[in-house]
Amino acid sequence: MSLVVQKYGGSSVADGEKIMNVARRIAKTSENGNQVVVVVSAMGDTTDDLIKLAYNVCENPSSRELDVLLSTGEIVSSTLLAMALKSLGAKSISLTGAQAGIRTDNSYSKARITNIDPRRVVRELEKGNIVIVAGFQGMNEEMDTTTLGRGGSDTTAVALAVSLEADKCEIYTDVAGVYTADPRIVSQAKKLDEIGYEEMLEMSTYGANVMHPRAVELGQIYNIPILVASSFLESPGTLIHGGIPMEGRNRVTGIAQDLNVAKVTIVGVPDKPGIAATIFERLANAGISVDTIVQNASIENITDLTFTIAKSDLAPATEIVKPIASEIGARDCIFDPTVGKVSIIGTGIQTSPGYAARMFTTLSQEGINIMLISTSEIRITCIIKEDKVKDAVRALHRAFELEQA
């Protein structure tokens, strides 16, 4: 008997009819002789609606209360799915993240899973139950509820697959798999049959929200192949795995975009040791990740320091950066929330020259100004104006001939 972990995203369980559709698919997997653990997201836009509710009653909601509130979305869908399965005659039980043994650190709203105690899930499987686990949540040492960051149910699924030593980990969503670009932006985007962990990790970290980056990272660390496929169609999907043949490796695989970006510039910074350390240490202590850091060459010992953060971190970052800027004697700081990122990703970038040139030429032909550039071995990212991001994605998809992938 195989053990299968399946995850169904928010749009796949958006209403009663869709929950019944998902329940039928799960029941079929179980009838085919598999043990099944299901991770489920909150219905449709529930998480966004809960966030709005919180901000309706409070300008600055407590992160602890917010995490408990958001975790309820997944609890609603998991209980409904368990009921739907029972109505089909299948034995099923729902568990919260805490009941499923998911333990996390204390970083509310972006907690990391520290450990999973799978005993309860295993017991329920042994009783013949299909186990439905509420995604996106866990419990910290204080027994408080934490959430794993937007899109975090994918990570719940892969972490459970690791902990249960599952035979399969399947992520079901509202598209047929991983595409060469977001199919909602590029209508000619092509579904990939397979993609390597490294490329998928760069894609999702730089905005392809079809997979939560931490889920891909766990898949890579524990070498668990992850299937991404449609919860509405019977189609083969995309397999994320580590054994991609060399032939598939020498090109750009995909384009990603991210609109959750803000740019911070500290102007007129004295160029002396310790300044960058002070700024980035305090941001890190507040759990704010910094990306794309650029420091200009200094003129008369004065320089400018620019970096990007998630737009959703802009308010706390402003509170941290402003006092440091005056402490260090900087002239000014500028916060720009109107930027976005566009990235080309592919293992070919590391071995063949010319990709950067083609990217920059394409953007310039579209009249798009590049503000900042960052690279990894297999990725080139440009920070551009937010309202140009979609045009940039389409132009780059054409320039790298990805519609012929």
Which listed option, ligand ADP, Mg ion, ligand ASP, none, makes contact with residue 11 (CB within 5 to 8 Å by class)? ligand ADP
Judged by CB under 6 A, the chain residues 30 through 49 that form the site for ligand ASP are: 41-42, 47
Alpha-carbon distance of 336 to 319, in angstroms, equals: 15
Q: Would you tell me how many other CB atoms lie within 10 Å of the CB of residue 310?
A: 16
CB of 347 to ligand ADP, least distance (A): 16
Q: Are 171 and 239 in contact (CB under 8 A)?
A: no
Instruction: Give 195 or 252: the residue with its C-beta nearer to Mg ion.
Output: 195
Which listed option, ligand ADP, Mg ion, ligand ASP, none, makes contact with residue 179 (CB within 5 to 8 Å by class)? ligand ADP
**What token pair was written down for 88?**
């089909």
* Residue 156 binds ligand ADP (CB under 6 A): no
Q: Are 118 and 37 in contact (CB under 8 A)?
A: no
Q: Which residues contact 15 (CB under 8 A, 6 or more apart)?
A: 43, 44
Which residue's CB comes closest to ligand ASP? 153
Q: Are 131 and 121 in contact (CB under 8 A)?
A: yes
Alpha-carbon distance of 155 to 222, in angstroms, equals: 13
* Residue 37 binds ligand ADP (CB under 6 A): no
CB of 85 to ligand ASP, least distance (A): 20
Q: Order the strands of the 92-95 sheet from edge to edge.
A: 92-95, 130-134, 35-40, 3-8, 168-173, 226-230, 238-241, 194-196
The runs of H, that is alpha helices, within 132-274 are: 153-163, 197-205, 213-222
* Residue 11 binds ligand ADP (CB under 6 A): yes
Instruction: Give 49 or 141: the residue with its C-beta nearer to ligand ASP.
Output: 49
Instruction: Give 34 or 94: the residue with its C-beta nearer to ligand ASP.
Output: 94
Tokens 């937007």: give the residue: 150
Instruction: Give 212 or 397: the residue with its C-beta nearer to ligand ASP.
Output: 212
Instruction: Give 150 or 282: the residue with its C-beta nearer to ligand ADP.
Output: 150
* Residue 123 binds ligand ADP (CB under 6 A): no
Judged by CB under 6 A, the chain residues 72 through 101 that form the site for ligand ASP are: 73
Residue 303 is inside which H or E element, if any? Answer: strand 302-309
Instruction: Give 151 or 207: the residue with its C-beta nearer to ligand ASP.
Output: 151
Kindly indicate which of the ranges 146-154, 192-200, 241-249, 384-392 contains the residues binding ligand ASP, using the contact rule CB under 6 A: 146-154
**What token pair was written down for 159?**
């972490």
Judged by CB under 6 A, the chain residues 124 through 153 that form the site for ligand ADP are: 151
Amino acid letter for position 347:
T
Residue 281 CB-half CA count within 13 A: 6
CB of 29 to ligand ASP, least distance (A): 20
Kindly indicate which of the ranges 147-155, 226-234, 295-303, 397-405 contains the residues binding ligand ASP, using the contact rule CB under 6 A: 147-155
Q: Are 10 and 44 in contact (CB under 8 A)?
A: yes
Phi and psi at residue 87, to the nearest 5°: -65, -20
Binding residues (CB under 5 A) for Mg ion: these are: 9, 151
| Binding residues for ligand ASP (CB under 6 A) | 9-10, 41-42, 47, 73, 135-136, 150-153
Residues engaged in binding ligand ADP (CB under 6 A): 9-12, 41, 151, 173-175, 178-179, 181-184, 208-210, 254
